[in-house]
Amino acid sequence: MKIAAFCMPVSTVSVWKTILTLCAMLASGVVFEGPARATVITLDFAQNPTLPSAQGMIFYTDSGRPESDFASILDGNRFRLDSYTTTSPNTDRTAYYYKDNVFDHRTDLEMEVRMKVIESSPFGFGVAVFNSNAASHFIVNKTGYQIYQVTSGSGYDFSSGFNTFKYKGFGATNTYEFFVNGTMVASGARPGGYANSNQFYFGDGTPTGGNARVEVQYLRYSNVNFSSGGGEVPEPISLATWSLLAGIVGLRRARKRQLG
């Protein structure tokens, strides 16, 4: 049985034009990607002074109150999250942002935030990602940090100015490193994850751990192998593309034999 498309004449000019077009696309940096893409999320509030919900994150609170009661942009360059409600300042309220299905524990991870903790009682501001296999979770309050379920450190002053916190997770070994202002202060094995879940979140994620009032200059999340240099992890050229090129060349050779 013949397929009509294969019976169509293919000119030498059109064949080489197609090949040259594909080669030009590759040379110019066009990348043919496979279905799997790494996840990179960047919230830089000096560059984009809008709430995280306007940048692809989802807001959640258990209070029934609107996002505007908890979140705002200050001076066009930083984000403020305040889970101390104005009507009941001592009431513990959950208020955080999240995105689902963005974590692969087998791939390297980096979470970085630059912020100031104005008030906390006592848990603080958390940044976390987890699936059913592993959890990467750090919390910062006014005077210290906690790597959830692993370790903690105290004796700091995180309320007077902005500080940078970075968490690095290593997919191959399921270990982590945690840095405060560029100095590694903790490292070890990551704890297990949570069944039937896959989520990245930041904010006051606890219904029983107190409230937090923070100002954030930027927050970055990257689930990309460190050896790849960051960004998304593309395939240099897909098998389908090579098959297309080979098919075009094969058609040209077959036509030359027919004409010869």
Range with the lowest mean pLDDT among 97-101, 212-216, 250-254? 250-254
* Tally of CA atoms within 13 A in the half-sphere of 204 that contains its CB: 33
Residue 24, number of CB atoms within 10 A of its CB: 10
Widest pairwise Cα distance in the chain: 89
DSSP letter assigned to residue 246: H
Span 37-88, pLDDT tens digits: 579 999 999 999 999 999 999 999 988 889 999 999 999 999 999 998 655 5
Question: Domain-by-domain residue ranges, the chain?
Answer: 4-32+235-259, 39-228
**pLDDT, position 59:** 97
Residue 201, number of CB atoms within 10 A of its CB: 19
Architecture of domain 39-228: Sandwich (2.60)
**Euclidean distance between CA atoms 174 and 108, whole angstroms:** 9
**pLDDT, position 254:** 52
Please give the model's pTM, rounded to 2 decimal places: 0.74
Span 9-50, pLDDT tens digits: 444 445 445 444 444 444 443 333 333 357 999 999 999 999
